[in-house]
Amino acid sequence: MELEEKLHTRKKPIMVLGTSSGAGKSLTVTAICRILKNLGEEPIPFKGQNMSNNSWVDWNGGEMAYSQALQAFACGIVPSSEMNPILLKPQGNSISEVIHLGKSTGITTAKNYYKDWFSPGWEVIKKSLNSIYERHPNCRLIIEGAGSPVEMNLIHRDLTNLKVAKYLKANCILVTDIERGGVFAQIIGTLQLMKPEEKKLIKGIIINRFRGDLSLFEEGKKWIESKTLIPVLGIIPWLNDKFPPEDSLDLLERKSNLINPEIKVGIIKLPTISNFSDFDPLENEESILIEWINESQSLNQLDFLILPGSKQTIKDQMFLKDSGLSKDIKEYSKTCGSIFGICGGLQMLGTILEDPLFKEGSKTNLDLTIKGIGLLPLKTTFLKNKITRQITSKSIWPCLAEINGFEIHNGVTELDKSQRTLKIKPIFKDIDLGWYRENDNGGSIAGTYIHGIFENDNWRNQYLNLVRKSKNLPIVDKKTRSYKIKRESIIDNLANEFDKHLNISSLLN
């Protein structure tokens, strides 16, 4: 039996659409997932197509957007790439890698995407929906849209908004961000651009990120309901808890509230930065201030420096060189500061980067081999097949600990035997997962292929203690709160705030 014929027996899906990108769709879905879990339902998140370099790897080695993984955590279930069957990973110059059901299937330009990938993409979406319902017949899908559902130049080939809503006959919520201003025009304009059968699917409106006294919007709520004949289900206040942004452009806008931090961490804002959710455990440390760095400057005010993951390692290494940041990083290494690279950041800390198949941005520079920063004696060669897998290992440095995380990379890294003066040691018992060396003046230079390394509490605490020791700060002996437990608490707080201000019961029948 086709899915369309089965839907009348299923629990009605809930879909969250937005009046624009950044309206709050991801967090709204996350909150609803936890609320329904607490009500005893079986919610499952779904986003047909997502564009993000902030990804996660499921237990079958499939890539998916981290936001859908976070929503799965909110549901209390294991994330699966079926929850995000199409992932587009931007590479710059309007080019993206296309990932279907967790596996890389090609490269496309924005111009050719809908011509070449629309039909296969829709089939992948339907396949995923059928699979989810076959394995979870009593579930309720909580679906996230993308951007605006009424981009008129794209609406006829939009895979992930109204096409999914109509296919599933979902109860839809329209979310708008009052912080941006113009919510009345955004709501009315969005609804006006919908066809009558599409507008009928909108069962409620949410006003997101309201600052101040909620009662002050009561007249606005009445006006919206009288003009649209759609109920305002909730006015959600401004929330301060930190969640990973979907778009790396939002990173520089994130400001810390810390006044007197003990440790200042600098993270290089690479042009094609990826997996920036790696740093959520640091953002949630009460003693740490994070500064995002995207231009040449003295780094001596930092207690340690991070080179994050990259979607285009060679292109980003050329950015470091051309901007002067590569020179700044080398100068910083001469102090007692510590440097840590993750995935692409590890590769850039090495001496040589080879890209014979043009996998990592060398084509734009017409150079198959370039020099890395040269702080670790490592040579990386980018090959055809991508490594994507969950990792369980044991660390040797800075402590003995069980380590969990995941890998996403094309490059294979080995020791550069021509750099015999730089002595390095493995971080893990699996010796190809990361290396470190002690700085002559204190601190260390280290890097790993493991995403999520800072989620490992004991390892993170011991590494931060090395940083504290190099800065003559007292060592923290007590066990800090587990990051994963803290993440659960943040999701609970998010759900509780939404639950206070959101009337979702009308959508459950």
- CATH number reported for the structural domain that contains residue 28 in this entry: 3.40.50.300
DSSP 59-77: TTS-EEEHHHHHHHHHHTS
Residue 478 covered by a domain: no
Report the C-alpha gap between 425 and 438 in whole angstroms: 9
Angle between helices 25-38 and 66-75 (to 10 degrees): 20
Structure confidence by residue, pLDDT tens digits, 260-284: 889 999 999 999 999 999 999 998 8
CB 67 within 8 A of CB 165: no
- In the predicted model, what is the mean pLDDT of residues 162-167? 97
Q: What is the per-residue pLDDT for 364?
A: 58
DSSP 220-246: HHHHHHHHH---EEEEEEP-------S
- CATH number reported for the structural domain that contains residue 312 in this entry: 3.40.50.880
Which residue numbers are catalytic?
A: 343, 451
User: DSSP code of 134?
Assistant: H
Q: What is the per-residue pLDDT for 441?
A: 75
Query: pTM for the whole thing?
Result: 0.93
Residue 448 covered by a domain: yes
Residue 251 covered by a domain: no
218 plus 133 within the same structural domain: yes
Residue 482 covered by a domain: no
- In the predicted model, what is the mean pLDDT of residues 20-39? 95
CB 155 within 8 A of CB 185: no
Q: What is the per-residue pLDDT for 3?
A: 64
297 plus 445 within the same structural domain: yes
Report the C-alpha gap between 359 and 374 in whole angstroms: 21
Residue 233 covered by a domain: yes
- In the predicted model, what is the mean pLDDT of residues 349-367? 80
Q: What is the per-residue pLDDT for 252?
A: 45
463 plus 503 within the same structural domain: no
Q: What is the per-residue pLDDT for 253?
A: 52
Residue 256 covered by a domain: no
189 plus 288 within the same structural domain: no
295 plus 432 within the same structural domain: yes
Q: How far is CA 252 from CA 27, 245, 308, 457, in A?
A: 19, 10, 14, 26
222 plus 140 within the same structural domain: yes
CB 222 within 8 A of CB 193: no
- In the predicted model, what is the mean pLDDT of residues 30-55? 97
* Listed range (10-24, 247-261, 314-328, 467-481) with the worst mean pLDDT: 247-261
Question: Residue 33 is part of which domain span?
Answer: 3-242+490-507
Report the C-alpha gap between 448 and 459 in whole angstroms: 13
298 plus 271 within the same structural domain: yes
268 plus 218 within the same structural domain: no
Report the C-alpha gap between 112 and 129 in whole angstroms: 26
Structure confidence by residue, pLDDT tens digits, 416-470: 988 877 789 999 999 999 999 998 777 899 999 999 999 999 999 999 999 998 8
199 plus 333 within the same structural domain: no
213 plus 284 within the same structural domain: no
Q: What is the per-residue pLDDT for 249?
A: 47
Residue 252 covered by a domain: no
Count of domains observed in the chain = 2
Q: How far is CA 117 from CA 112, 123, 133, 149, 496, in A?
A: 8, 10, 24, 19, 40
Structure confidence by residue, pLDDT tens digits, 43-90: 999 999 999 999 999 999 999 999 999 999 999 999 999 999 999 999
11 plus 45 within the same structural domain: yes
Q: Which of 190-210 are b and which e, b meaning 16 or more Cβ less than 10 Å from the residue's Cβ? A: bbeebeeebbebbbbbbbbbb
Q: What is the per-residue pLDDT for 4?
A: 60
355 plus 496 within the same structural domain: no
Residue 258 covered by a domain: no
Q: In what order do the strands lie in the sheet with 140-144?
A: 43-46, 140-144, 14-18, 171-177, 202-210, 232-237
Q: What is the per-residue pLDDT for 246?
A: 57
pLDDT band at residue 358 using 50, 70 and 90 as cut-offs: confident
